[in-house]
Amino acid sequence: MSKTFTALNPATGQSVGESIPEHSFEEVSAAIKAADKIKDKFAATSPAQRAALLNAIADSIEAKKDELAQISNLETALPIPRVTGEVMRTVIQIRAFADLVKTGGHLLPIIDLADPNYQPVARPDLRKSQQPLGVVSIFAASNFPLAFSVAGGDSASALAAGCPVVVKAHPSHPNTCQMVYHAVVKAITEQGLPKEIFTLVQGVNPEITHWLAKAPEVSAIGFTGSGMVGKLLIKLAQERPIPIPVYAEMGSLNPVFFTPAVLAEKSEELAKAALESALLGSGQFCTKPGIIVVPNDAAGDKFIASVQSYIADQKVPPLLNKGIASRFTDAISLISKAKSIKVLTGTTNSDGFGVTPTIFVVDWAEVKNHDALLEEHFGPTSVIIRAPYDQFLTIAKSMSGQLASAIHATAADNVKELVTALTQKAGRLIWNGFPTSVSVTAAQNHGGQWPASSSHTTSVGLDALFRFVRPVVYQNFPDHQLPAELQNANPYGIERVVNGVRSNKQIN
């Protein structure tokens, strides 16, 4: 008799859907072993087959667009237009990986033909390509019930790389997870591939995280969530007899800097835009501007006054689950007690897991006395730091690693040093904009220095795939023993680097 749990509607606190059976250790282990057993078969699929699979998954999810939007709205309280858009983002990012693998862009074949005159010694025939790591454990995030969940960026990039995926559903939206899972498996089986490529694990038992990290057949971990769980996963992964990489995105403060000159021009407009970014999705984005730095001058004060006036009638949807809501309330209540911190509040949402939007204002000199100000607080809050402009560089340098950071400045501002300092903290720098909204594209980078990210990789955009492959070089191999992408005939017709020159031709 297995344990069960039930999803809750954050807007009402009431149950959503049927009770969901929790997976046992034996079931999780069996799923991982089954995935390991078919990994070679999946790895051997051609670029065309892999692309067809991804496109079929995207189609299958898109076919459920409205049902997915409805169920995820019930489970997360995120508005219907937001979750509908998220279904499409999920589908589009899977198709982007399909386009990448179709061209062999995931294989990066490099061929150096034998050269008896090579220096300092003759060169053998060397042919390298990228091979999938094997079974990957992925953890769905609470705040993107589709785009960072069961078939989100981590799963899409791992499948594109040729890795079977075992994904832990997020217990805040298990019905959405289940519906996505069925859509994915339908596509896999229709493509004639083994359904063991993709397994969903459900449950609230914290031990499941340990099982997924410790199983010997697991080769890598993809995670988006809290620093606490991210660091636990890293520890578990490092303590294994064979350590494995953990690609963890663990949140960020995403500081936004406003120069005196830019605020002098349009402090009201920028205050409104900053507040909108901070409250977007009820402040539950890893790219939320958690720190806003303004000059301690008249324009800065006007910015703060504008925020105060705008926030008053701001009401946001309830938070994703009870835990997030109570951690938010506790943190806000604690920080609000400090005499040196000014508290600007919005309209309370009293439904379900609703909370009150709250912005703090503090002088830079006071920040060192309140560690909690420089911690991420998931929910509709941000900290406005008032500082002399000549302290902005010091503030930037004192920050820990960030996913993103933004600078608002005029064309005349000299912010070269500030940009350089932030480049060394963040993976993405935004000019005259806000860190929320992350475009899925080849140039994108969603990652940053520790503790925002556990590695120098991105979890959004095409480069996310390369987290799940490793290079292997074949020396002097007979042609028919090579993987197809390295054979002379170039049967996939993909672009390769042959003796330093890009070519999609065959080798004669």
The residues in 289-328 that bind a second copy, with binding defined as CB under 8 A, are: none
Q: What is the dihedral of CA 72, 75, 81, 84, to 10 degrees?
A: -10
Q: Kindly tell me which of 78 and 361 has the beta carbon lying closer to a second copy.
A: 78
Regarding 424 and contact with a second copy (CB under 8 A), the answer is: yes
Residue 5, beta-bridge partner list: 20
Closest contact distance (angstroms) between CB of 14 and a second copy is 31
Phi and psi dihedrals of 503, rounded to 5?
-160, 145
Question: Scanning residues 456 to 475, which ones bind a second copy (CB under 8 A)?
Answer: 456, 458, 463, 469-475
Site size toward a second copy, by CB under 8 A: 72
CA–CA distance, 165 with 136 (Å, rounded to integer): 5
CA–CA distance, 318 with 328 (Å, rounded to integer): 11
Stretch binding a second copy (CB under 8 A), from 54-62, 161-169, 195-203, 443-451: 443-451
Q: With beta carbons less than 8 A apart as the criterion, state whether 179 and 150 touch.
A: no
CA–CA distance, 485 with 102 (Å, rounded to integer): 12
Stretch binding a second copy (CB under 8 A), from 82-90, 263-271, 310-318, 382-390: 82-90
Regarding 133 and contact with a second copy (CB under 8 A), the answer is: yes
Question: Scanning residues 327 to 366, which ones bind a second copy (CB under 8 A)?
Answer: none
Q: Kindly tell me which of 102 and 386 has the beta carbon lying closer to a second copy.
A: 102
E-strand ranges in 270-331 read 291-295
**Residues identified as active-site:** 249, 286
Q: Kindly tell me which of 352 and 427 has the beta carbon lying closer to a second copy.
A: 427
CA–CA distance, 335 with 314 (Å, rounded to integer): 20
Regarding 160 and contact with a second copy (CB under 8 A), the answer is: no
Q: Determine how many CB atoms are found less than 10 A away from the CB of residue 4.
A: 13
Query: Please, what is the Cα angle at 158 between 128 and 281, to 5 degrees?
Result: 140
Nearest C-alpha neighbor of 395 from the set 425, 361, 352, 354: 425
Phi and psi dihedrals of 55, rounded to 5?
-65, -40
Question: Scanning residues 89 to 128, which ones bind a second copy (CB under 8 A)?
Answer: 89, 92, 110-112, 118-121, 123-124, 126-128
Q: Kindly tell me which of 258 and 310 has the beta carbon lying closer to a second copy.
A: 258
CA–CA distance, 466 with 459 (Å, rounded to integer): 10
Regarding 81 and contact with a second copy (CB under 8 A), the answer is: no
| DSSP alpha helix (H) spans, 63-162 | 65-76, 80-102, 153-161
Q: Kindly tell me which of 192 and 241 has the beta carbon lying closer to a second copy.
A: 241
Stretch binding a second copy (CB under 8 A), from 242-250, 332-340, 345-353, 376-384: 242-250
Question: Scanning residues 12 to 71, which ones bind a second copy (CB under 8 A)?
Answer: 40
Regarding 476 and contact with a second copy (CB under 8 A), the answer is: yes
x/- site string to a second copy, residues 247 to 286, per CB under 8 A? ----------------------------------------
Q: Kindly tell me which of 123 and 322 has the beta carbon lying closer to a second copy.
A: 123
Q: What share of the chain is helix, strand, coil (3-state, %, to 5)?
A: 40, 20, 40
Regarding 436 and contact with a second copy (CB under 8 A), the answer is: no
Closest contact distance (angstroms) between CB of 120 and a second copy is 4
Question: What number of residues does the chain have?
Answer: 508
CA–CA distance, 107 with 100 (Å, rounded to integer): 10
Question: Scanning residues 389 to 418, which ones bind a second copy (CB under 8 A)?
Answer: 400-401, 411, 415-416
Stretch binding a second copy (CB under 8 A), from 58-66, 159-167, 202-210, 429-437: 429-437
Q: Decide: residue 123, CB within 10 A, 0-12 exposed, 13-18 middle, 19+ buried.
A: middle
Question: Scanning residues 477 to 506, which ones bind a second copy (CB under 8 A)?
Answer: 477-478, 481, 497, 500, 502
Stretch binding a second copy (CB under 8 A), from 64-72, 353-361, 384-392, 453-461: 453-461
Q: With beta carbons less than 8 A apart as the criterion, state whether 379 and 358 touch.
A: no
